[in-house]
Amino acid sequence: MIHVNGLTKYFGDYAAIQDVSFDVPKGTVVGFLGPNGAGKSTTMRILAGYLTATTGSATIDGYDVFWNPLEARRRIGYLPENCPLYPEMRVEEYLYFRAGLKGLSHAQSRTRVGFGLERCWLTDVRRQLIGTLSKGYRQRVGLADALLADPPVLILDEPTAGLDPAQIRETRKLIRELGDQHTILLSTHILPEVEMTCDSVILIHQGRVAHSSTLAAIRQHSQGRSLEDLFVHITGTEV
Amino acid sequence: MMRASWSLFRREFLAYFLSPIAYVVLTVFLVVTGHLFYLTLELLTARGHRGTEWPMQVMLGDERFWLVFLFIPPLLTMRLLAEERHTGTLEMLMTAPIRDWQIVLSKYLACLAFYGLLWLPTLVYVPILVDLDWQTGKARIDPWPVLTSYIGVLGAGAMFLALGLFVSSLVRSQLVAALVSLVLSLLLIVAGFWRPELDSASFTYQLIHFFSVPLHFSRDFTRGQIDTRNLVLYATATLFFLFLTVRSLESRRWR
């Protein structure tokens, strides 16, 4: 579903990612791991079409994100890091605006916004100004937005960052449920989260893919070693 | 595709009413045009040798109007792209299935629509400025200067707004965006206030006349003349700045 081939991105002389290649098969939930500054967000931004890669290519459902950007973006629900939203708009109003932006008709918008509000537990706050919402609720608005056009692919950049434990649990549960119908690429720092929600992991370190396999394979090979041990072993940082 | 542009246009236009700046601009603008209208009325009804030949020229022809006008386009455009970059919402916008030029055009049309709205209340002055006879519906003062003035105001506004939008796409801070576009518009406006002793046939004079917007108004639009050179300047400058804005937005993806 997501196919990435030799992706490289330079910011000036600095290579944020170098020769990153991986595949995300349809219907899987893939955890995108790595220390801060490893290039997770950069890769996701390229996939979502916000940045253009220096070299390499990426396709979503067969559509190249550079040559066929609109078709590719139509198939992605993207939740950026920190989830930027317009504080002066109301939740429902914002979702209707985003639905229109994604080309949904009025009738479609109504059903999809209703679905998003319910699915992300936003019904109580639908008339509230986004600026007055807590971080957890904003994250849910972002998630509801990502689900609006019912895209086959979800790209979620740290969906649980800054949430309290109860919210993290809710979000994880939601992601696991969404995994049944969507292909999901999600980045996170929290390793137990990956073990709970993902089918496989891609570990990225210093802009390169350092490890990539299914969780089942890791469990089988490592014999009692946890994902955390693997992470520390590869990135060379002791906790 | 139309749906996406319309949705963005609607949001941008309505966003003006959610910020206090729009109301401040509206109020100040109405106070100033109202005062100028009062002065015009005084001259139109004056006895003796005082009076005016061109009522619109009193309203739009000199510093009184242009020094206030100067601030309006920068205040309307400063937010458009600078704020989106500052808060990061640009990322949400640029990853939506919408083309960069659609983003620019929707935002531009939204600020142009608000600018149009700004002028809408001034239409109530028109019956008096043309001395409309309510019985016959005929104007007793030549109505063309009013029409051409509105055409000029729309054209010049379109140019200044496009300039402001472009500046807004370059910076992160709204304040910087407003100041830079203010300075740039000043170049086009202040040239008209500088009246050196020049032969009006000389090249320098022609050049100043070509660029200074207040002169276009005091000499042409408010007198019922349409000089195509002025309109061509406005149209090409508008297209040029919109083109640069699209490019500037696109280049964000590369950096």
| Per-residue pLDDT tens over the stretch A172-215 | 888 888 888 899 999 987 888 888 888 888 988 888 888 888 88
Decide if A170 is inside a domain.
no
Q: Are residues A40 and A63 in the same domain?
A: yes
Give the chain B residue nearest A66 (alpha carbons).
B253
pLDDT above 90 (res B237): yes
Segments in chain B forming alpha helices (H): 2-16, 20-44, 55-60, 63-69, 72-87, 89-94, 100-119, 126-129, 144-170, 174-190, 203-211, 213-219, 228-254
Q: Are residues A141 and A47 in the same domain?
A: no
In percent, how much of chain B has pLDDT > 70? 98
Partner A contacted by B38 (CB < 8 A)? no
Residues of B in contact with A80 (CB under 8 A): 88, 91-92, 95
ipTM of the complex: 0.89
Model confidence over A210-231: pLDDT tens digits?
888 888 787 777 666 677 777 7
* Shortest CA gap B20–chain A (Å): 12
Decide if A173 is inside a domain.
no
pLDDT at B57: 85
Specify which residues A23 forms β-bridges with: A3
Distance between CA B110 and CA B113 in Å, rounded? 5
Report CB contact under 8 Å: B7, A97.
yes
Model confidence over B96-152: pLDDT tens digits?
999 999 999 999 999 999 999 999 999 999 888 888 888 887 888 888 889 999 999
User: What DSSP assignment string belongs to chain A?
Assistant: -EEEEEEEEEETTEEEEEEEEEEE-TT-EEEEE--TTSSHHHHHHHHHTSS--SEEEEEETTEETTTSHHHHHHTEEEE-TT----TTSBHHHHHHHHHHHTT--HHHHHHHHHHHHHHTT-GGGTTSBGGGS-HHHHHHHHHHHHHTT--SEEEEESTTTT--HHHHHHHHHHHHHHTTTSEEEEE-S-HHHHHHH-SEEEEEETTEEEEEEEHHHHHHHHTT--HHHHHHHHH----
pLDDT above 60 (res A238): no
Model confidence over B193-225: pLDDT tens digits?
766 677 777 888 788 888 888 888 888 888 888
Residues of B in contact with A51 (CB under 8 A): 253-254
* Shortest CA gap A232–chain B (Å): 32
pLDDT-based confidence at A239, cuts 50/70/90?
A: very low
Q: Are residues A158 and A233 in the same domain?
A: yes
Partner A contacted by B80 (CB < 8 A)? no
Q: Are residues A137 and A187 in the same domain?
A: no
Residues of B in contact with A105 (CB under 8 A): 3
Average pLDDT of chain B? 89
Model confidence over A51-67: pLDDT tens digits?
999 999 999 999 999 99
Report CB contact under 8 Å: A50, B3.
no
Report CB contact under 8 Å: B11, A97.
yes
Q: Are residues A66 and A95 in the same domain?
A: no
Q: Are residues A64 and A159 in the same domain?
A: yes
* Shortest CA gap A108–chain B (Å): 12
Q: Are residues A129 and A223 in the same domain?
A: no
Q: Are residues A92 and A126 in the same domain?
A: yes
DSSP state, residue B124: G
Domains of chain A: total: 2
Average pLDDT of chain A? 88
Domain region containing A210: 1-75+154-165+182-239
Q: Are residues A20 and A60 in the same domain?
A: yes
Residues 119-178 of A with CB under 8 A from B: 145
Report CB contact under 8 Å: A49, B4.
no
pLDDT above 60 (res B42): yes
Decide if A51 is inside a domain.
yes
Report CB contact under 8 Å: A97, B10.
yes
For CA atoms A14, B87, A155, A2, give the dihedral sign.
negative
pLDDT at B148: 92
* Shortest CA gap B100–chain A (Å): 11
Decide if A228 is inside a domain.
yes
* Shortest CA gap B5–chain A (Å): 7
Higher pLDDT pick, A89 / B59: A89
Decide if A129 is inside a domain.
yes
- Can you tell me the mean pLDDT for A130-148? 91
Q: Are residues A121 and A134 in the same domain?
A: yes
Q: Are residues A93 and A113 in the same domain?
A: yes
* Shortest CA gap B115–chain A (Å): 21
pLDDT at B177: 95
Domains of chain B: total: 1
Residues of B in contact with A11 (CB under 8 A): 255
Report CB contact under 8 Å: A49, B8.
no
The answer to which of B3-12, B70-79, B112-121, B193-202 has the lowest mean pLDDT is B193-202
pLDDT at A225: 67
Q: Are residues A65 and A160 in the same domain?
A: yes
pLDDT above 60 (res B88): yes
Partner A contacted by B87 (CB < 8 A)? yes
pLDDT at B140: 82
- Can you tell me the mean pLDDT for A131-138? 89
Decide if A176 is inside a domain.
no
* Shortest CA gap B69–chain A (Å): 28
Specify which residues A31 forms β-bridges with: A186, A201
Choose among A84, A103, A105: nearest Cβ to B89: A84
Q: What is the CATH number of the domain that holds A203?
A: 3.40.50.300
pLDDT above 90 (res B187): no
pLDDT at A58: 94
Residues of A in contact with B19 (CB under 8 A): 88
Residues of B in contact with A104 (CB under 8 A): 3
Domain region containing B10: 2-254
Q: Are strands A153-157 and A76-79 parallel, antiparallel or unpaired?
A: parallel
pLDDT at A237: 60
Among B6, B7, B85, the strongest candidate for a mutation testing the A interface, having the largest count of A CBs within 10 A, is B7
